[in-house]
Amino acid sequence: MSERIYNFSPGPATLPPSVLQEAATDIVNFHDKGIGLIELSHRSKEFMAVAEETEGLIRELLQVPDNYKVLFLQGGASSQFYMVPMNLLGTGKKATYLNTGAWSKKAIKEAKLFGDIKVAYSSEESTYNRVPTDDDYSVATESEYLYFVTNNTIYGTQFADMPKSDTMLVADMSSDILSRPVDVSRFGIIFAGAQKNMGPAGVTVVILRDDLLDCNAETVPTMLRYKTHADKDSMFNTPPCFSIYCVGRVMNWLKEQGGVAAMEKINQRKAGILYDAIDGTDFYRGHAEKASRSLMNISFNLPTPELEARFISEAAAVGFDGLKGHRSIGGCRASIYNAFPEEGVQKLVDFMADFAEKNG
Ligand SMILES: Cc1ncc(COP(=O)(O)O)c(C=O)c1O
C-alpha cells in the first residue's frame, strides 16, 4: 500500500489499514474459494457465517442483552428518522425529542409525520454548541420514548452521560457507537450508520428491544417494519453484504485493541491532546462548551475565515485531509473516530502550534 495520509473526514471516515488490506484480498478471492466476497450469494453458507460473526462481535463488544435484536438495514441512518416513529408511534402517541443539531432536527421533522412530538430542549440558538444536562429539560408525560443524538457530528458535542430519564431511550449513535461502553438495556432502540466507527457506508446497524417488534406491525409497509427484518435475520431481501463483512472485520480489529472500554481510554487521550492544544492558545477556539465536548469530532475556529481557509489548505498540503468544518458552521473540524491513529493527532497538534506561531 502506498503511504497513507491522515484522514480527518467526518464520514465515510478512516478505517484500520489492516481491515482495508483484508477486504482487498477477500473481495477478489474469499478464503480461497475462487469467488470474490461481493460475488457470493447472501444465502451461501460462507456469507451467512460472515453475517453471524459480525452480529456476534457487535453483541459481544457492546454486551447486547439477549432480548435485543441486531439488524443490518439499508437507507442510511436517515431512514431511521422515520422508521423509529413509524414503528413506535401512531395516532395520539407521544414522544419527546432533544434538538441538539442538524441530525436531531431532521429526525424531529420526520417524527412529526407520525405522532405527537414534544421538543423538550433545543440549543439551536447558540449554534448547537452544547447538549443538555438532565436538569435542562423534562420529558413530556406519557412519552413512548426520549429521542436524542449521542454525538453531534457537525458541532462536536456529545452526551458525556446518557439521560437518566425513566422513559425508554432511543438514540442515534451514528458518530460514536462503539467508542465507549453503553448500557444497552436502557435503550429501546440504538441505531447508527456504519460509515464512521464501523465500516463503509451502506449498512445501518439497529439494536432493538424485541418487545418493540410488534408495535404497529400491521400498518407499516413491509420493508419498513422492524419485524420483517428481525424475523428473517436481516435477510428478508439482499442485505448490503460488503458493508456487513467490513463491519465484522472492524469489530474484530476493535476486539484486538481491547474492546470498547480500552477504546474509550484511547479516545479520551486522543481528544485530550487536541483540546489541550486548542485551550493552550487564544489563536484556536473550540466551538462546543467544555462540558459538552465530543471525543469524536472536534470543531474549532481560528481568528478569521481567511486564516481558517489557509490553515485547511496548508494542512492538506502536508497530508492532513478533511479538516474543513461542516458548511453550516464553517471553521475547522477534526474527526478522530476509533480508527484514527493517535500519532496523527499528535502530528496535527504540532502543525497547529507551528501555524499559530507563524500567523498569530
Ligand atoms: C449523528 C448522525 N446521524 C445521522 C446521520 C445521517 O446518516 P446517513 O447519511 O447514513 O443517513 C449522520 C451523518 O453524518 C450523523 O452524523
At 178, which amino acid appears? L
- Ligand 1 mean position, distance from CA 125 (Å): 22
The stretch 105-114 carries a mean pLDDT of: 97
pTM for this model (two decimals): 0.98
Q: Given this model, what pLDDT does residue 92 score?
A: 84
Last residue of a domain, one of 196, 229, 256: 256
The upper half-sphere exposure of residue 92, i.e. CA atoms within 13 Å in the direction of its Cβ, equals: 0
Ligand 1 neighbours by CB, cut-off 6 Å: 11, 76-78, 103, 149, 153, 172, 174-175, 193
Give the C-alpha distances (Å, rounded to integers) separating 18 from 147, 171, 249.
36, 30, 9
DSSP string computed for 213-272: TTTTTTTS-GGG-HHHHHHTTT-SS---HHHHHHHHHHHHHHHHTTHHHHHHHHHHHHHH
In this structure, the answer to whether residues 200 and 56 fall within a common structural domain is yes
pLDDT digits (tens, 9 = 90+) for 125-141: 999 999 999 999 999 99
In this structure, the answer to whether residues 93 and 227 fall within a common structural domain is yes
Q: Is 235 inside any structural domain?
A: yes
In this structure, the answer to whether residues 263 and 246 fall within a common structural domain is no
- Which helix H or strand E contains 206, and what residues bound it? strand 204-209
Q: Is 217 inside any structural domain?
A: yes
Q: Given this model, what pLDDT does residue 256 score?
A: 98
Inform me whether the pLDDT recorded for 234 exceeds 70: yes
Q: Is 11 inside any structural domain?
A: no
Residue 28, all three cell numbers = 477478489
**Residue of 9, 78, 179, 327 best suited for mutating to test ligand 1, as the one with most atoms within 8 Å of CB:** 78
The CATH number given to whatever domain includes residue 205 is 3.40.640.10
For ligand 1, atom 5, name the residue with the nearest CA: 77
The CATH number given to whatever domain includes residue 349 is 3.90.1150.10
Q: Is 3 inside any structural domain?
A: no
Q: Is 283 inside any structural domain?
A: yes
In this structure, the answer to whether residues 68 and 173 fall within a common structural domain is yes
**Residue of 173, 175, 177 best suited for mutating to test ligand 1, as the one with most atoms within 8 Å of CB:** 175
In this structure, the answer to whether residues 100 and 240 fall within a common structural domain is yes
Q: Which residue range(s) make up the domain with 233?
A: 17-256
In this structure, the answer to whether residues 311 and 248 fall within a common structural domain is no
CA distance 147 to 85: 10
User: What are the catalytic residues?
Assistant: 103, 172, 196
In this structure, the answer to whether residues 35 and 79 fall within a common structural domain is yes
- pLDDT bin (cut points 50, 70, 90) of residue 2 is low
DSSP string computed for 79-107: HHHHHHHHHH--TT-EEEEEE-SHHHHHH
In this structure, the answer to whether residues 248 and 268 fall within a common structural domain is no
Last residue of a domain, one of 232, 256, 280: 256
In this structure, the answer to whether residues 45 and 113 fall within a common structural domain is yes
- Ligand 1 mean position, distance from CA 127 (Å): 18
Q: With beta carbons less than 8 A apart as the criterion, state whether 177 and 197 touch.
A: yes
Q: Are strands 94-99 and 116-122 parallel, antiparallel or unpaired?
A: parallel
In 10 A of CB 330, how many CB atoms?
A: 15
Average pLDDT value for the chain: 97
Sorted by sequence, the CB contacts under 8 Å of residue 311 that are 6+ apart come out as: 302, 323, 332, 355, 359
Atom index in ligand 1 nearest the CA of residue 150 equals 1
Q: What is the DSSP letter of 331?
A: S
Tally of structural domains, the chain: 2
In this structure, the answer to whether residues 213 and 145 fall within a common structural domain is yes
In 10 A of CB 350, how many CB atoms?
A: 11
In 10 A of CB 276, how many CB atoms?
A: 10
pLDDT digits (tens, 9 = 90+) for 156-200: 999 999 999 999 999 999 999 999 999 999 999 999 999 999 999
In 10 A of CB 1, how many CB atoms?
A: 7
Last residue of a domain, one of 256, 278, 294: 256
The stretch 251-259 carries a mean pLDDT of: 98
Question: CA quadruple 163, 164, 170, 171: dihedral positive or negative?
Answer: positive
Q: Is 166 inside any structural domain?
A: yes
